[in-house]
Each structure stands twice: as C-alpha cells, then as structure tokens.
A and B are shown apart, each in its own frame.
Chain A
Amino acid sequence: MTMNAFITGAYDTAVGKLPGSSCMGLHAEAALGALADAGLTVGEIDGVLCAYSFTEPHLMLASVFCEVLGIHPGTCLAIQAGGATACIMIMQAAALVASGQCQNVLVVTGDNRLSGLSRDGAVAALAEVGHPQFERPFGISVPAAYALVARRYMHEYGATSEQLAAIAVQHRTHALLHPKAQQRTPITVSDVLASKEIASPLRMLDCCLISDGGAAVIVSSKAAAAGTRHKAVEILGAGQGHTHEHIVAAPSLTDFGCKSSSATAFARAGVTAADIDVAEIYDSFTITLLVELESIGFFERGSAGIAAERGDLGIGGRLPCNTHGGLLSYAHSGAAGGMFHAVEAVHQLRGHAEARQVRDAKLAFVHGDGGILSAHCSLVLGVH
C-alpha cells in the first residue's frame, strides 16, 4: 500500500551543549541541511511545519521561522503534541503532499533547551503540563507521572528495575557507536541502579537527557521525489492514538494509545510488527519504551524487559531499537527529540548509519508519544 508521500531529505545538527546556539539558529541549520541533503532549493519548499520552543516560545513559531529564513510558503503552521509532535508533523506533511496541496513540505524542529534553559528550568517548565487543579498542587513532575506508570506496570506485569536498567544500558551501547551522541561514557546496570533517585522507582539514568539540537525532514510528493538526491524513503503507513492528557484521568496505567496508533499504521502499510527491521521508538524514560514495546506488540506483556536483558534490542538483535541512542543517550531537545528518531530511521533505511547500521534494513517503525503516554503517533517507513 502507499500513502503517496516520501521523505526526500533529512538532517540532524550537532547535539548536546552547544554554547552560542539558539532555537531559530538550530531551525535554520536543520532546514538548510535537509534541503541540501535532498538537493532541493529554498524556492521549491511550498509547505512549512514547525513545532514549539521553550527558549523562544511564540504563538506562531512557523511564521517566525519563515520570517527568519526569508521564505513565503503557501502553507505554514505549527503543531504541538509534545513528544508525538515530530511523528504527527510527518503524518500531516504526508497528507499535504498526498492531497496535492503541497509538493515539498519542510518539517523542522529545534531548541537549545540545555544552554538556554538549564536542567532545573526545563524540569520546572515541563511540570506545567500537570493538571493545574488536580495534579500540580501535589508536586507532580513529568518523571513522577511516568514513575506512577512504572510502579503500576511493574506490579501488574513483573517488570523489574534491573530490566529497566538494561534498557538504559542498551541505549548507551548504541550511543557509543554514534560520533554525535551526547552521552558517550559506558554504563552498567549497577550504574543505573546506583544513580540518583528522581521519583521512585525511576532513577536519573532511567530519564532522558536535556539537550540543544535540531533536526528536519522534507516530505515530498511522488513527482517531486523523483528528482531528489537520495533513494526516497516511502511513508507506508501512519496512525495516531489519543486516550487522555493528564495521567490522573488516564483510562488505564498499563494500556495506552500506542496500541491503536501502531495498529492503524501497520494496517495502512500492510505489514505486521514482526516484519519491522529497525524500530526508533520514543524513550523519554526507560519505562516509556518498555510499555510501548509491549503495547505495540513487538513483545508479549511482561517480556520486553527480559528481551532487553537478553540483548534483543541491540544491533543484530531480534528488534534493533533506538540505534542512535535515543532520548536516553543520544539527545533530547524538545520536538527535535522525536525528530532524531525519524532522521535515524532515514539513515538506517538509506544504509548510511555506519557503525550502527542494521544489515538490510528495509522497513522501519518510528513512534512518538506526548504528555504522559497521552498522544501517540506511529509511522511505518520503507525503501524498496
């Protein structure tokens, strides 16, 4: 099956602490990088999708970006869905080119959260997603909300802290293979278990990084994709799932919208979870990935942690996952965090992932989740 939409350009900037970087500077670098990668000119972009920023917040971020770049596209808007934003932007861009409204849509994200905000500032800003009356007065934070999910999930399915730690270690192992990754010091399961308590049962090394960085992709129609530089990556399927916003109102602490988003994406692509060669799945916390791997159907309930300990998520394993190191060890800079997963999938499908290349990767699954496992978007990408 086909959605008549192709990723023709992809680019990720340097990540980590980038003194002198700015939100709009990272946007511009990522956008121009993706254009050069596709071999397209600024004038060939007729749609622009942006996300949001903590360091340069604006009601109309996409308009701000187009003003900076000096472009006047026919379609221009910003999308906000937390960690699901990157995937939702790509899904929306696919709809724009498939319907003929655009030929080449630039999807661009970036923020300098680390140098522009500090870790404390980012944690405080993120805590504001809590319900103002029924969560925030009790000291909720994003890690605390995920900790509530983790405790319940461990209770129901027997996942252990050691299994969560194995997930963190696997991500670090992948980051060691990526020359741009922010965290390149090897860690062990005992290091994770000995790291500072954040919100029990989650510890510092169960939590994602806070980074500066930007990333962009270009989504093109079939006709526009024909003249681009690289083998185009086809968007074969996409789907979303939305069950709640605040964790206090979640219908379940163990079942989330990733189940329906992935089912829709797989059905549209005409594939199953077992067909996927490489998966790039949102890993804001170790528990996030564990829950998603099991809900999506890559592993049975209660078995993803055991699989992680066995090395199934490694390159050459049963399901190579987050081959760049993910949000846990590569980088997390707002909406760009989720975009790094999509860009890594493009690197893998083109065969450009160097030391971390999954052999013969033809079919990739990319997933983002926003809020507290609230908003989900899944993509199936492939090359022929």
Chain B
Amino acid sequence: MGRTGMGRPLPNPAAETRSFWEGCSEGELRYQTCEACGVVQITPRSVCSHCQSALLAWKRSSAVGTVLSFTTVHRAPTEAFRAMAPYTIVMVDMNEGFRLMVNCDRALLPTLAIGGRVRIGFEDVDGMKLPHAQALS
C-alpha cells in the first residue's frame, strides 16, 4: 500500500473537531458536552452519543486525567513511525469524562502506570500541536 512511504498522518480537522484542534494550537484542551442532556462526549462528534441532540457545546478541560492503559510500540505501522520507535501510546480518561489517546514525554515513562495521574500538554508535530501526556507536577 502506498501509505507506507508517507509522513506521519496529521489530523485533518472537520466541522465537528475544528474547535478541538484550534484549542490545541492555543494551548487549551477542549471537550464537548450536550446542552440537551448534559452528557460529556467521549470523543468529539456532530450529535450527542446519548440523546442524539445536535446541541453540543465546547468547554475547557482541566487537562488532568487518569491512565486507562498504555503500550510501547516496537513494530511501527509505517515508515514515519518507524523512525520514532519505540514510542508509547497512552489512553487517558480525563477528569471531565472524555478520553484521549496520546503519546507521552520520555520523562513520564519510568512512573507510567494504569491508574496514574497525568497532565495533558501539547507537542509540536510538523507545525501542528498534538495533545501529549506529561507528569502531573
């Protein structure tokens, strides 16, 4: 498949995710809540996953969460990631109830554990800011 030789895939913001990525570029982590039923959306979307209302509002997150799971990838899926390997992928359940998949600071690795608390910062990747797990303090 042709993708093997291409660069790291960057997010291509769509209508329902633009505010998330704009927030990242401004150093602010955002999430969606439903104005009809109050449910926090696990990932950004165009209608509420609980009541299907389109009235979704963006809020600012405290950027603190708990590690749900993590893995260190040794065999990367594409050439761009092979240059980074080994790298760690962390799934974080954020305090507000949404979820992120991110990479993490090398400094966090020795203490990285399920249930551990982490802060989400931002990392510059090819001119885009991507969320990134860091030590809490």
Task: Give the B-binding residues of A (Cβ under 8 A).
Answer: 54, 117, 120-121, 123-128, 131-141, 143-144, 147-149, 151-152, 155, 196-202, 246-249, 253
Determine if A137 and B125 form an interchain contact, defined as CB atoms under 8 angstroms apart: yes
Determine if A139 and B84 form an interchain contact, defined as CB atoms under 8 angstroms apart: yes
- CB B19 to nearest CB in A, in angstroms, measures 13
Task: Give the A-binding residues of B (Cβ under 8 A).
Answer: 1, 3-4, 8-14, 17, 21, 42-43, 68-78, 81, 84, 87, 89, 91, 99-103, 114, 125, 130
Q: Could you list 27 examples of A-B contacts with CB < 8 Å?
A: A121-B1, A123-B75, A123-B77, A124-B4, A126-B77, A133-B21, A134-B43, A134-B101, A137-B125, A138-B102, A138-B103, A139-B81, A139-B89, A140-B101, A143-B75, A144-B89, A148-B70, A151-B71, A151-B114, A152-B68, A155-B114, A197-B74, A197-B75, A198-B75, A202-B71, A249-B99, A253-B91
Contacts of A134 in B (CB 8 A): 11, 43, 100-101
Determine if B77 and A124 form an interchain contact, defined as CB atoms under 8 angstroms apart: yes
How long is the Cα–Cα vector from A124 to B9 in the complex, in angstroms?
12
Contacts of B99 in A (CB 8 A): 248-249
- CB A263 to nearest CB in B, in angstroms, measures 23
How long is the Cα–Cα vector from A126 to B87 in the complex, in angstroms?
19
How long is the Cα–Cα vector from A126 to B77 in the complex, in angstroms?
8
Contacts of A126 in B (CB 8 A): 77
- CB B123 to nearest CB in A, in angstroms, measures 10
Q: Quick one: given A137-B125, A151-B69, are A132 and B89 in contact (CB under 8 Å)? A: no
Q: Quick one: given A139-B77, A152-B114, are A253 and B69 in contact (CB under 8 Å)? A: yes
How long is the Cα–Cα vector from A128 to B1 in the complex, in angstroms?
11
- CB B93 to nearest CB in A, in angstroms, measures 10
Contacts of B70 in A (CB 8 A): 148, 151
Please give me the residue from chain A that is nearest to B80 by CB atom. Answer: A139
How long is the Cα–Cα vector from A140 to B72 in the complex, in angstroms?
10
**Residue in contact with B71 in the complex, picked from A54, A124, A200, CB distance below 8 Å:** A200
Please give me the residue from chain B that is nearest to A153 by CB atom. Answer: B69
Contacts of A54 in B (CB 8 A): 1
How long is the Cα–Cα vector from A117 to B10 in the complex, in angstroms?
25
A-B complex: 7 closest residue pairs judged by Cβ atoms: A127-B77, A147-B71, A141-B77, A133-B11, A152-B69, A139-B81, A197-B74
